[in-house]
């Protein structure tokens, strides 16, 4: 119940707490400037590691590096693990090899992997050399899996018990081996002599069952099926689907290798959500986002693609140069058709991308979605064709112009509805990420339709 | 390890499994058409409820309603709870009152609340009347909290123990009261005689501690601070921050009222992510999304706003009607300036909205973000001003036109970078959702800048 748990200055209803928090932020900043290591490390130790990490992340990049250098080995392992990726990388970079090696010894294996994968190849080797051979071999196992797999994410510490054990055996074993068990776990995994997974006993079940009952009598089937080489996104999906707090990870033959816990999975879910949201707006999923160079690198490629598509749209307009010269109102109105059509396409696209991410677009559902989106395009097309035609007709006192823009608007809406859903579905079918690039395709397709239909029709009806 | 756990036809590496699944889907559909209740209910019972729910959701809306009517009370409670919101509402609507009342008796209190809140006021009263008074009173408690609060989400079943108990006491109590404990829980909450929360003992800790140790000696502080009337989004944030599997919910005075588990919180996180992603593309968070009417209702309002803003942009262009009449190339090129500027603004906006959602925009961070986005606008502005100027200059063989569009492009990029971050920050400051409406504001601002700077400059340099 720390008084620091609501650091949102603008949102917290409790102004006093916010002010206290801001004052603490300022004190931390000043401690870094004054090299006051003693005060800083004491203050951070008093807080929950997640709160301490939050506080350090409020510092500017330079102050943060200074703080890490100042704290040295006083920067606790728990805080390092709670830092966001960019900050954690910076912190590990700033610490001496010996300190990093010492830190690794204190962590669960999944956290060790997190830190090691941040490091440059060379430095990783240097640090691994400083470790006992047994630790070293164990740490290297985590890195043997590809990035973004369940194997990278899992910890190799878990509680497994043979089928023949009773509840009493399991409890006694846990008491006798308290040190070797992971800090947090939610189930006992039941295995056969060849280490194949047979089932699980949730701790809540273990707790309420008499001592002499056999584990094999109370174990549940394991609904999830997560292998070490499985994409982390698929593992996260299984956690959501089966409402899991933890899940065992097996190798290709069904032998138990490790355990995933839901806190790591929540991080994966958030990463995937961030990627989708940014990709839809043409931002590459950013490694770091804190410098201008990072931002430019994440965005310039899609702007370059957009540069090409924008000139394609210009090319279409230029076909009708003669028409525009004679009826300059077309130049005034054509952005309306393009803007509304593009907006309608983006709406359908966002709905489709989200449905794909939540796996609501399988089999029959995608056929239904295409029909629904096209019908939605027709319905909104009628509404906004009439609206746009009315405004344009009154503005320029021209029935012909009103009819022209109305028909073009309708055609663009129907086309936008259809392409908003067909583009991401097609991208997924060919194995591409439906969020990436979809936006550019859809907007280009609607722009082309908007300019072509409006100016093309106009050159027939208005000349 | 059900063979049905990977229903993604296109993505699964295992074609045979996919085909089997598709065949099962077809069998279910045919069973509904043939009114084969016996086969259908048997088949569903053999599956994990989450898989059975998935299978039913593959049916068309009409077939789904038929399936529910066919199954009647054979549609198990577990499956109903696993259905997605729209489907669950349909299912509960199609079932008779007595069946729904019977279903409620079997559920944890948070699931009861989920079903009751879906119902129309009148029908809810009818169903509550059929229940025993004690159940009724308990069910009504959940509904006493506002929608989207922790109180609505929590279950009122949990395991609480007095400070003076030993580990042995707690285990014996769990064994003696096995039936009354929730099916899943991950910690014992330690309370004082007035039901105030003092701390918690994770089950993993309980398991490894000898019987005679007092709970008060092994209990941990509770880092989260979740009250019943707290917004569910804030509760979800605390789960992420402190890596929780479950958390106690207290009333205003710190008395224990219930428990939140991470599976419910993951659903909240996904809801919030969906809302943000859709809002950024101008789609209101949809209650249902399966009918055309729902889609139109969710999208038409923002299209209407866009209609107004598009005509504002037209108004700006119309100011320069005379200029365009003389230099028709301006009409051909002006969409390029608007499209690239709008794209740059959307990119910055997506990054800012995501950072706000992940609470990375507090205090000093928002000032840094504004500076970074403006500088990114300047950097990308230089790159794309040169690019656009070169293409336009060659195309129309005009240095004056090249310089004009280059300068306008640069001004629009800087302005887009600034407004992409300042609009969501401002919306948040005034208490609005930064994802909703941001897009329309940013795109309107960049359109105005694009047309005004390009056409305005042109009327000075090119006439």
pLDDT at site A448: 95
A255 phi and psi angles, rounded to 5 deg: -90, 140
Which residue, among B340, B352, B362, has the nearest Cα to B415 in the 3D structure?
Answer: B340
d(CA B319, CA B336): 19
pLDDT at site B2: 38
3-state secondary structure of B146: coil
Is residue A300 less than 8 Å (CB to CB) from chain B? yes
Which residue, chain included where needed, has tokens 């093309």?
A: A456
d(CA A333, CA B216): 74
d(CA B47, CA A256): 24
Which candidate in A213, A354, A369, A387 is best for mutational testing of the B interface (most B CBs within 10 A)?
A354
Size of interface A-B (CB pairs under 8 A): 373
pLDDT tens digits, B377-390? 999 999 999 999 99
Is residue A88 less than 8 Å (CB to CB) from chain B? no
Is residue B136 less than 8 Å (CB to CB) from chain A? no
**Is B236 in contact with B153 (CB distance < 8 Å)?**
no
pLDDT at site A114: 82
Maximum Cα interatomic distance, chain A, rounded to a whole number of Å: 94
pLDDT at site A7: 41
pLDDT at site B95: 82
Whole-prediction pTM: 0.85
d(CA B152, CA A232): 31
pLDDT at site A463: 85
Q: How confident is the model at residue B108 (pLDDT cuts 50, 70, 90)?
A: confident
Mean pLDDT of A97-117: 81
pLDDT tens digits, A164-182? 999 999 999 999 999 889 8
* A98 Cα distance to chain centroid: 33
In this structure, the number of other CB atoms found within 10 A of the CB of residue B183 comes to 10
3-state secondary structure of B199: strand
Residue A144 reports pLDDT greater than 50? yes
3-state secondary structure of B327: coil
Contact between B376 and A22 using a beta-carbon 8 Å cutoff: no
- Return the higher-pLDDT residue of B414 and A22: B414
Q: What is the 3-state secondary structure (H, E, C) of B1-26?
A: CCCCCCCCCCCCCCHHHHHHHHHHHH
A240: nearest CB among B266, B364, B380: B266
Contact residues, B window 307-326, toward A, CB-based 8 Å cutoff = 307, 309-311, 313-314, 317-318, 321, 324-325
Mean pLDDT of A380-395: 97
Which residue, among B248, B28, B24, B68, has the nearest Cα to B156 in the 3D structure?
Answer: B248
Mean pLDDT of A296-305: 91
Tell me the CA distances in angstroms from B282 to A281, B276, B297, B353, one per residue in order: 13, 10, 12, 14
pLDDT tens digits, B193-204? 999 999 999 999
Residue B298 reports pLDDT greater than 80? yes
Mind telling me how many Å the CA of B113 is from chain A's nearest CA?
18
Is residue B296 less than 8 Å (CB to CB) from chain A? yes
d(CA A165, CA B204): 18
Mean pLDDT of B292-303: 89
DSSP B73: G
Contact between A181 and B204 using a beta-carbon 8 Å cutoff: yes
Which candidate in A5, A294, A383, A433 is best for mutational testing of the B interface (most B CBs within 10 A)?
A5
Mind telling me how many Å the CA of B59 is from chain A's nearest CA?
8
Contact between B372 and A295 using a beta-carbon 8 Å cutoff: yes
pLDDT tens digits, B356-410? 888 888 767 888 889 999 999 999 999 999 999 999 999 999 999 999 999 999 9
pLDDT at site A8: 42
| Domains assigned to chain B | 15-152 (1.25.60.10), 160-262 (3.10.580.10), 292-461 (1.10.357.20)
Is residue A68 less than 8 Å (CB to CB) from chain B? no
Which residue, chain included where needed, has tokens 């999923």?
A: A285
Chain A positions in Cβ-Cβ contact with residue B277 (cut-off 8 Å): 273, 276-277, 280, 350, 353-354
For chain B, the 3-state helix, strand and coil shares in percent, each to the nearest 5, are 70, 10, 25
Chain A positions in Cβ-Cβ contact with residue B391 (cut-off 8 Å): 307, 311
Q: Which residue of B has its CA nearest to A344?
A: B303
Mean pLDDT of A313-324: 95
Residue B74 reports pLDDT greater than 80? yes
Contact between A50 and B364 using a beta-carbon 8 Å cutoff: no
In this structure, the number of other CB atoms found within 10 A of the CB of residue A161 comes to 21
Q: Which residue of A has its CA nearest to B10?
A: A429
**A1 burial class (0-12, 13-18, 19+ CB within 10 angstroms)?**
exposed
Residue B5 reports pLDDT greater than 50? no
């Amino acid at each position: 119940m720390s008084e620091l748990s609501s650091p949102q200055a603008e949102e917290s209803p409790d102004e006093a707490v916010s002010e206290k928090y801001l004052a603490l932020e300022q004190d931390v900043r000043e401690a870094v400037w004054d090299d006051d290591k003693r005060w800083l490390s004491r203050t951070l130790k008093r807080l929950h590691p997640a709160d301490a990490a939050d506080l350090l992340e409020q510092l500017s990049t330079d102050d943060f590096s200074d703080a890490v250098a100042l704290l040295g080995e006083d920067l606790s392992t728990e805080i390092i693990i709670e830092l966001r990726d960019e900050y954690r990388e910076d912190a590990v970079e700033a610490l001496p090899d010996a300190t990093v090696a010492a830190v690794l010894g204190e962590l669960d294996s999944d956290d060790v992997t997190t830190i090691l994968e941040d490091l440059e190849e060379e430095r990783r080797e240097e640090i691994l050399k400083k470790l006992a051979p047994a630790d070293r071999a164990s740490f290297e196992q985590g890195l043997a899996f590809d990035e973004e797999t369940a194997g990278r994410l899992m910890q190799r510490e878990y509680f497994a018990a043979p089928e023949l054990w009773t509840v009493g055996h399991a409890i006694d074993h846990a008491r006798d081996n308290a040190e070797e068990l992971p800090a947090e776990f939610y189930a006992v995994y039941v295995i056969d002599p060849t280490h194949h997974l047979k089932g699980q006993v949730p701790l809540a079940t273990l707790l309420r069952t008499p001592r002499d009952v056999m584990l094999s009598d109370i174990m549940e089937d394991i609904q999830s099926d997560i292998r070490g080489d499985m994409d982390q996104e698929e593992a996260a999906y299984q956690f959501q689907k089966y409402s899991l707090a933890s899940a065992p990870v097996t190798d290709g033959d069904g032998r138990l290798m490790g355990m995933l816990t839901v806190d790591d999975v929540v991080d994966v879910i958030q990463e995937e959500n961030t990627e989708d949201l940014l990709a839809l707006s043409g931002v590459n999923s950013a490694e770091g986002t804190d410098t201008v160079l990072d931002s430019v690198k994440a965005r310039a490629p899609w702007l370059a693609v957009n540069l090409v598509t924008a000139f394609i749209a210009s090319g279409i307009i230029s076909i009708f140069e003669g028409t525009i010269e004679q009826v300059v109102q077309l130049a005034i109105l054509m952005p309306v058709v393009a803007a509304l059509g593009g907006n309608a396409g983006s709406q359908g696209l966002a709905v489709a991308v989200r449905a794909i991410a939540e796996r609501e677009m399988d089999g029959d559902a995608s056929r239904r979605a295409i029909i629904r989106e096209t019908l939605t395009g027709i319905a909104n097309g009628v509404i906004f064709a009439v609206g746009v035609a009315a405004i344009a007709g009154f503005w320029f006192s021209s029935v012909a112009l009103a009819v022209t823009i109305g028909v073009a608007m309708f055609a663009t809406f129907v086309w936008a509805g259809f392409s908003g859903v067909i583009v991401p579905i097609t991208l997924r079918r060919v194995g591409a990420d439906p969020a990436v690039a979809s936006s550019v395709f859809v907007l280009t397709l609607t722009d082309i339709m908007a300019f072509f239909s409006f100016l093309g029709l106009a050159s027939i009806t208005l000349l």
